Amino acid sequence: MSQSVDVSIEYFAQFRELAGVSTERIATAATDAASLYQELASGHGFELPQSDVKVAVNDEFVDWAYQLKTGDTVVFIPPVAGG
C-alpha cells in the first residue's frame, strides 16, 4: 500500500507566478524531493530542468534524494539573481 505525506510548498519568483500561489499544502505520493519537483513541475508548468533548480526543506538546502516527511516545508529555488 502506498503512503502519502502532507507537505507545505512555498513558491518564489517565477515559480510563484506560474503556480499562482505563494504557498500550498499537498498530500503527495512522492517520497523524495526530486519526485516532488517532477510532480509539481508538470502540474504548474515549471520548465526549468531539475539540474538548474535547488531545493530547501525547513529553511536549509538539502539534496534531491531528501526523504520527505509529513510537516516538511519545501521550497524549490530557481536560478538566483541577487546583487
By CB under 8 A, name the binding residues for other proteins. 10, 12-14, 16, 52, 54, 56, 59-61, 75, 77-83
Classify residue 7 by burial, with Cβ atoms within 10 Å: 0-12, 13-18, 19+: buried
d(C-alpha 20, C-alpha 22), whole Å: 7
For other proteins, the closer of residues 16 and 34 by Cβ is 16
Q: How far is the CB of 80 from other proteins (least distance, A)?
A: 6
Q: How far is the CB of 10 from other proteins (least distance, A)?
A: 7
Q: How far is the CB of 1 from other proteins (least distance, A)?
A: 35
For other proteins, the closer of residues 16 and 39 by Cβ is 16
Q: Are 62 and 56 in contact (CB under 8 A)?
A: yes
Q: Are 68 and 2 in contact (CB under 8 A)?
A: no
